[in-house]
Structure 1
Amino acid sequence: MGSKNEPAFVLSSVADISTVEKHLPSLRALLQHCINDEPDISSLGFLAPLADHTADSYWLELMSTVTGPHATTTLLIATPTGSDKIVATVQLARMPKETHTFKGEVRKLMVHPDYRRHGLGKCMMDEVERVAREEFALEMLLLDTSKETPAREFYLKTGWTEWGICPNYAKSSSGVKHDCCFFVKDLV
């Protein structure tokens, strides 16, 4: 994904609201592409067409869980080397209950359509797993996705175990109910 000397993408963690404010146009565009371009296979919790103000509000409201002493979410972003444009994100949500602190949930892996099928999604998942294991000592990760999306095959190919399917669990961005697949990955 780049020359031997220079990576094609820079992966980093968002630590403050100013970073989100700075990158809000590219975060908005990323979310809108993932929702609006293929609403029949998008399953990120929004209906198409996703308006600018709704996308902006999502990113700004997310920051209340990302920053501060009681942060429970880590937001990872990817930018092409030499660019400020965010082309991929993934979130790691940690469980606040004492009996659940050993596990986390991967949420909203998004890769801009122009950057798909080049290994960036796998890099994002490798990084979120590394952060979960090394920075938070998590032992297990969970995630869910629509049964009808390409994401299901992606997770199966990257070592996740599908442990169940719930019929009509959620709606796609087009508003159609779909089955949801639940995945787990042990980190120990």
Structure 2
Amino acid sequence: MNANLMTMTSLCADELTGCVAELGALLRACVHDGASVGFVMPYSVDESEAFWRGNVLPSLREGGLILLVARLGDTIAGTVQLDYDTMPNQRHRAEVRKLLVHPDARRQGIARALMTEIERHAQRLQRSLITLDTRTGDHAEPLYAALGYQAAGVIPGYARAPLNGERFDATTIMYKAL
């Protein structure tokens, strides 16, 4: 796969409906590779597709969520979400959710490109603060730091480990002023 052939688009609800199977496969591959994105093993295709239909699709339809996908050729290689459905006293901020890059497509600049583009969307929405959380010590943490995100703190025992549901991992809460 060649990052030079990467295209990026924002999906609307109808487009997401047509991509559920492919996005489900992407999410499942990431979870099976150990990504800490809210799910633990065993994790089925049906559960993965249900996440997109039941959690992402309603938020996308209602507004307040941006869903970006990065494609290498015709294949979805990565995705990220921006949740900007905030309370009135928080209309200056948004949260990055579910940055996913297929294990076979990593180390090609896809995650960085997705984050850069999601920040552009946040600025267009006049959001001046972005927050996110990531498993402490995860390979994504240095990427976020390189993009200017700062650690606000660490919460120990925050989430079950995806491949070992008996272990609890810490999470690092990060933020960036735009």
**Alpha-carbon distance in 2 for matches of 1:73, 1:21:** 15
8 Å contact from structure 2 (residues 24, 45) kept in 1:
yes
The runs of 5 or more residues in structure 2 that have no matched partner are none
**Alpha-carbon distance in 2 for matches of 1:133, 1:125:** 12
Partner of 2:145: 156
The runs of 5 or more residues in structure 1 that have no matched partner are 3-7
Residue in structure 2 matching 1:64, options 58, 61, 71: 58
Q: Which runs of 4+ in 1 moved over 6 A?
A: none
**Alpha-carbon distance in 1 for matches of 2:172, 2:17:** 33
**Secondary structure at 1:59 match in 2:** helix
For 1:150, the aligned partner's letter is H
Paired residues, number? 173
Deviations, residues 130-167 of structure 1 (Å, cap 9, x unaligned):
00001x11000000011031111111122111111111
**Alpha-carbon distance in 2 for matches of 1:177, 1:66:** 31
**Alpha-carbon distance in 2 for matches of 1:143, 1:32:** 21
Partner of 1:46: 39
8 Å contact from structure 1 (residues 77, 86) kept in 2:
yes
**Alpha-carbon distance in 1 for matches of 2:112, 2:18:** 26
Identity %: 29
Partner of 2:27: 31
For 1:32, the aligned partner's letter is R
TM-align CA RMSD: 1.2
Partner of 2:102: 112
Partner of 1:15: 12
Task: Tell me the TM-score normalised to structure 2 length.
Answer: 0.92
1:168 shift after superposition: 0.8
8 Å contact from structure 2 (residues 86, 94) kept in 1:
no
Which range moved further: 19-28 or 104-113? 19-28
8 Å contact from structure 1 (residues 147, 179) kept in 2:
yes
**Secondary structure at 2:53 match in 1:** helix
Partner of 1:186: 177
Partner of 1:129: 119
8 Å contact from structure 1 (residues 35, 49) kept in 2:
no
For 2:150, the aligned partner's letter is T
Corresponding position: 1:140 with 2:129:
yes
Deviations, residues 71-118 of structure 1 (Å, cap 9, x unaligned):
12111111123x1x2110000001431000110000000001111111
